[in-house]
Amino acid sequence: MGQRNWVVIGREIYYGIITHARDEAPRECCGLIGSRSDGEQTRYPLHNLAHDPTREYFAAPEDIFRAMREMRMRRERLIAIYHSHPRGEARPSATDLAMAFYPEAVYLIAALEPETELRAFHLRSGTPVELSLQLKD
Protein backbone atom coordinates (compact mmCIF):
# COMPACT_ATOMS: atom_id res chain seq x y z
CA MET A 1 0.00 0.00 0.00
CA GLY A 2 1.48 3.36 -1.04
CA GLN A 3 1.80 6.51 1.00
CA ARG A 4 -0.66 9.37 0.67
CA ASN A 5 0.53 12.46 -1.17
CA TRP A 6 -1.22 14.76 1.31
CA VAL A 7 -1.43 15.38 5.04
CA VAL A 8 -4.17 17.03 7.10
CA ILE A 9 -3.43 19.06 10.22
CA GLY A 10 -5.68 21.18 12.35
CA ARG A 11 -5.55 24.97 12.05
CA GLU A 12 -4.70 25.16 15.75
CA ILE A 13 -1.71 22.87 15.14
CA TYR A 14 -0.67 24.96 12.12
CA TYR A 15 -0.78 28.24 14.05
CA GLY A 16 0.93 26.59 17.04
CA ILE A 17 3.87 25.59 14.85
CA ILE A 18 4.16 29.07 13.33
CA THR A 19 4.00 30.69 16.78
CA HIS A 20 6.61 28.26 18.12
CA ALA A 21 8.88 29.12 15.17
CA ARG A 22 8.48 32.86 15.77
CA ASP A 23 9.04 32.52 19.53
CA GLU A 24 12.27 30.55 19.05
CA ALA A 25 13.75 32.64 16.19
CA PRO A 26 16.58 32.99 15.36
CA ARG A 27 16.88 29.43 16.72
CA GLU A 28 15.17 26.56 14.94
CA CYS A 29 12.20 25.16 16.83
CA CYS A 30 11.22 21.50 16.78
CA GLY A 31 8.36 19.29 17.88
CA LEU A 32 6.11 16.32 17.24
CA ILE A 33 2.47 15.94 16.21
CA GLY A 34 0.39 13.05 17.50
CA SER A 35 -3.04 12.01 16.23
CA ARG A 36 -5.80 9.77 17.56
CA SER A 37 -7.94 7.55 15.35
CA ASP A 38 -10.77 10.10 15.60
CA GLY A 39 -8.52 12.78 14.03
CA GLU A 40 -7.83 14.71 17.26
CA GLN A 41 -4.27 16.07 17.11
CA THR A 42 -1.80 17.24 19.73
CA ARG A 43 1.38 19.30 19.28
CA TYR A 44 4.39 18.45 21.44
CA PRO A 45 7.02 21.24 21.43
CA LEU A 46 10.55 19.99 22.09
CA HIS A 47 13.72 21.77 23.21
CA ASN A 48 16.39 22.20 20.55
CA LEU A 49 19.76 21.09 21.93
CA ALA A 50 21.72 21.38 18.66
CA HIS A 51 25.30 22.63 18.80
CA ASP A 52 24.28 25.44 16.42
CA PRO A 53 20.52 25.86 16.94
CA THR A 54 20.38 28.74 14.45
CA ARG A 55 21.22 26.26 11.65
CA GLU A 56 19.95 22.85 12.81
CA TYR A 57 17.86 21.06 15.38
CA PHE A 58 18.44 18.14 17.72
CA ALA A 59 15.45 17.42 19.94
CA ALA A 60 16.13 16.82 23.63
CA PRO A 61 15.89 13.03 24.18
CA GLU A 62 13.98 13.47 27.45
CA ASP A 63 11.41 15.63 25.60
CA ILE A 64 10.97 12.96 22.94
CA PHE A 65 10.53 10.30 25.64
CA ARG A 66 7.95 12.45 27.48
CA ALA A 67 6.05 13.22 24.24
CA MET A 68 5.98 9.57 23.15
CA ARG A 69 4.77 8.50 26.61
CA GLU A 70 1.98 11.12 26.45
CA MET A 71 1.04 9.94 22.96
CA ARG A 72 0.71 6.36 24.22
CA MET A 73 -1.44 7.52 27.15
CA ARG A 74 -3.69 9.48 24.76
CA ARG A 75 -3.77 6.60 22.26
CA GLU A 76 -2.13 8.73 19.61
CA ARG A 77 0.37 7.80 16.96
CA LEU A 78 3.21 9.97 15.70
CA ILE A 79 2.14 11.52 12.41
CA ALA A 80 4.57 14.40 11.97
CA ILE A 81 7.86 15.90 13.06
CA TYR A 82 8.22 19.64 12.65
CA HIS A 83 10.99 22.20 12.76
CA SER A 84 11.65 25.68 11.48
CA HIS A 85 14.05 27.42 9.13
CA PRO A 86 14.00 30.96 10.57
CA ARG A 87 16.09 32.44 7.76
CA GLY A 88 15.58 30.00 4.93
CA GLU A 89 12.93 28.47 2.79
CA ALA A 90 10.63 25.66 3.89
CA ARG A 91 12.57 22.95 2.04
CA PRO A 92 14.63 20.13 3.55
CA SER A 93 18.31 20.92 3.96
CA ALA A 94 21.08 18.34 3.53
CA THR A 95 21.18 18.06 7.34
CA ASP A 96 17.41 17.51 7.47
CA LEU A 97 17.72 14.67 4.95
CA ALA A 98 20.63 13.07 6.82
CA MET A 99 18.79 13.24 10.16
CA ALA A 100 15.41 11.94 8.94
CA PHE A 101 15.20 8.83 11.14
CA TYR A 102 11.42 8.27 10.96
CA PRO A 103 10.60 7.31 7.35
CA GLU A 104 6.87 6.86 8.03
CA ALA A 105 6.44 10.31 9.59
CA VAL A 106 5.62 13.47 7.72
CA TYR A 107 8.21 16.22 8.14
CA LEU A 108 6.76 19.73 8.44
CA ILE A 109 9.10 22.66 7.85
CA ALA A 110 8.12 26.20 8.83
CA ALA A 111 9.83 29.18 7.21
CA LEU A 112 9.57 32.74 8.47
CA GLU A 113 11.47 34.69 5.79
CA PRO A 114 10.99 35.91 3.17
CA GLU A 115 7.41 34.85 3.91
CA THR A 116 5.79 32.66 6.54
CA GLU A 117 4.89 29.23 5.21
CA LEU A 118 4.59 25.61 6.32
CA ARG A 119 5.34 22.75 3.92
CA ALA A 120 5.12 18.98 4.31
CA PHE A 121 7.47 16.25 3.07
CA HIS A 122 8.20 12.57 3.24
CA LEU A 123 11.97 12.17 3.63
CA ARG A 124 13.01 8.69 2.55
CA SER A 125 16.37 7.50 1.30
CA GLY A 126 17.65 11.07 1.13
CA THR A 127 14.93 12.11 -1.30
CA PRO A 128 12.30 14.69 -0.28
CA VAL A 129 8.79 14.21 -1.66
CA GLU A 130 6.54 17.21 -1.09
CA LEU A 131 3.02 16.53 0.16
CA SER A 132 -0.07 18.66 -0.16
CA LEU A 133 -0.78 20.26 3.23
CA GLN A 134 -4.47 20.57 4.06
CA LEU A 135 -5.84 22.43 7.08
CA LYS A 136 -8.93 21.36 8.98
CA ASP A 137 -10.96 23.30 11.54
Kindly list the catalytic residues: 28
Q: Which residues are CB-contacts of 123 (< 8 A; sequence separation ≥ 6)?
A: 92, 96, 97, 100, 103, 107, 129
DSSP state of 88: S
Helices (H), the chain: 11-24, 61-73, 94-98
